[in-house]
Amino acid sequence: MRACLTPCLPCVLICVFCASCLAACAVPARGDPVESAPLPLRVAPALLGERVVEQRLVIRWPGGERGADAVLEIGKDRLRLIMLAFGIRLMSLEYDGEMFSEQRFVPHAPDGRRVLNDLLLIVTPLEDLRHALPSGAHVTERRVDGKLRREIAGGDAVKTVIDYETESPWRGRVAFRHIPPDYELFLESHEL
């Protein structure tokens, strides 16, 4: 009995359609609140420590929610991140503290600058983050119900609230709430 090595056209079309649907469900579409982003914060990867981290993230905004997985590799001079959903590569980025590059592999992949900025707000040590924030912004940390909370404000208005489940942003869960444009990011990290 001879096996068919070339798939039939209807099977190929069904697979392509399913992959497109899954990719569209994984991250927000254009126009959703997590799209437009400023230039990345200037944080040298060496300040974050060399490590490899697996992450599961969920982005939630009024009217929607999407999830994805990421692998983050931080070396002495470079940060690399690959984001996937349902086994499909959505985007990848590289950053050396100055130069930023990204590749999007699906039409509705998240903005790499937004992803990087949110990640840097979460994981950058407090004093280093204070130096990296733009003029007029400031960061504070305090304990709320026994857990660490980081707040980033512009002027007197708090723009971002980050709650950490553990003392390390590299392990456990982090809840990130960006007040305008009103979205939340839930991140679970495991160092390898």
Q: Is residue 17 part of a domain?
A: no
* pLDDT range class, residue 181, cuts 50, 70, 90: confident
Residue 162 lies in a domain: yes
Residue 1 forms part of a structural domain: no
Over the stretch 30-63, which tens digit does the pLDDT of each residue have? 444 444 456 679 999 999 999 999 999 999 988 8
Domain count along the chain? 1
Report pLDDT for 179. Answer: 86
In angstroms, the CA 36 to CA 101 distance is: 16
Residue 164 inside a domain? The answer is yes
The CATH number linked to 145 is: 2.50.20
Asked whether the predicted pLDDT for residue 115 surpasses 60, the reply is yes
Task: Provide the 3-class DSSP secondary structure of residue 151.
Answer: strand
CB 87 within 8 A of CB 7: no
User: 21: pLDDT confidence band, cut at 50, 70 and 90?
Assistant: very low
Query: Would you say residue 64 has pLDDT above 70?
Result: yes
Between residues 55 and 28, the one the model is more confident about: 55
For residue 174, give its domain range. Answer: 34-191
Domain membership of residue 8 (yes or no) is no
In a domain, 19, yes or no: no
